[in-house]
Amino acid sequence: MKRVLIILLLALMAGALLSAAINYDTGYVRVSLGHYLLETNFWVALVLFLASVFVVHVLLNLGRKVSHPAGNVSRWFRRSRQRRSRDMTTRGLLELAEGNWPRAQKLLTSAAPHADTPLINYLAAAEAAHGQGKDQDAEKLLRKAFESADGAEMAVGLSQAKLQLASGQLEQALATLLRLRKKAPHHPFVLKQLKVVYTQLEDWRELSILLPEMRKQGIATADDTQPLERQVWLNLLDGAAEQVRRQPGDERSTASIDRVWDELPTTMRKDSSVIHAYARHLAELNFDERAETLLRKVLRNHWSDQLINLYGRIKGNSVAEQLLTAENWLKKRPNNPELLLALGRISLRNELWGKAREYFETSLRLQRKPETLGELCRLNAHLGDQEQSIRLLKQGLLQDAGLPELPMPHPSVLGKNRAAERAASANAR
């Protein structure tokens, strides 16, 4: 509103000045051309001059438009094609989201030459072709995507790796991702895809290198990668132990498995499953004393039921000292069934049969485990208590089978029924 008032005020002032100027002096203009003579005052001549300039300007613009009709038409057609291309791209992406692969590929490919972002069209069309199993078409579309925009190598490469991985082409996907990693060593999605490929290829060595790198770059946390990292080092220990087993008995060395143990990150050195695997392999390779020493040191500071179970299975350098060590642990954990089971086994190695049976019975009362039950039955059988051994076996079998409560015949009733059956049989004869 203020702007309008200002304009009106300026117009009034200009009109007042113009009126004052005309009243002061109208002026005189005379133009002579041949036999023609034009006479008028200055202000009329000024108006005619400005009007002539405006008309000439309009005519020149109109002339340019008339002289270049093809350019205007082409611009109109180009804008029309772009609108149609945007509409087709939108419909193609919707078809892709709905899983209509053939229709999506057709729309996206047709719209790509005139699309604002042909790269997007070709990448989406490649995904649609892959959905139909047309891998060759997908490769052609990816090449077109690469050619359609500068700096598209990373986007095209990641899409290619994604399609290769979905098709189960693990080696090809790995080659693609390694090529991309050379260009962008810390690219988050490249590293994540490499983790997937290495896991499916079971390339544990490369995973052991990749996972710390992912944590260092902030792509994954320790909690996210711990289960996979545990699996990685367990498999590396298994592979190293297998190498030792293939060595001749006299020349057998644990160098390969020890090397893996030395490479373990700090978190895995405290993991019970990894420690258990290393100690178990040492024991299976007839290095029981090293296994017992390792477990004793670990259990002294970090208790684990899994490790104490293994400790009871391993024969140390001195079984008497091993029993004393375990009994000292029992003072702090008197009701630990796994420790009691281990003590029973260590007592057997010390030929303390009664103590072993007592430990087994106490462990079984605290936790009913088939493993403990089996040890107690075996010991009773060797002690000559066959009846007790059979009773425990029967009891354990019935309880572990989960049988429902059902009525059963009493032995006295069963005896009367059999006598009646024999009497009936004699009368019949």
The structural domains of the chain, with segments of one domain joined by +, span 234-243+256-308, 318-400
Summarised one tens digit per residue, pLDDT across range 255-296 is 999 999 999 998 899 999 999 999 999 999 999 999 999 999
Summarised one tens digit per residue, pLDDT across range 15-30 is 677 677 666 666 766 7
Q: Does the structure show a pLDDT above 70 at 91?
A: yes
> Tell me, what's the pLDDT at 415?
56
Identity at 299, one-letter amino acid code: L
- Neighbouring residues of 356: CB distance < 8 A, sequence distance ≥ 6: 344, 345, 347, 348, 379
Q: How many CA atoms lie within 13 A of 238 on its CB side?
A: 9
Residue 153 Cα to chain centre, angstroms: 23
CATH number belonging to domain 318-400: 1.25.40.10
For 217-263, where are the alpha helices, taking DSSP H only? 222-245, 255-263
Which two tokens mark 263? 């490479």
Confirm if 362 and 340 have CB atoms less than 8 A apart. Answer: yes
CA distance 363 to 138: 64
Summarised one tens digit per residue, pLDDT across range 175-192 is 999 999 999 999 999 999
CA distance 393 to 360: 14
CA distance 269 to 328: 25
Helix axes 118-131, 135-148, angle to 10 degrees: 170
CA distance 233 to 223: 16
Other Cβ atoms closer than 10 A to 42? 14
pTM over 0.85: no
Helix axes 337-349, 370-382, angle to 10 degrees: 30
User: Which region among 6-20, 97-111, 282-296 has the lowest average model confidence (pLDDT)?
Assistant: 6-20
Summarised one tens digit per residue, pLDDT across range 136-174 is 888 898 888 888 888 888 999 999 999 999 888 999 999
Summarised one tens digit per residue, pLDDT across range 38-67 is 777 766 767 777 788 778 878 887 766 655
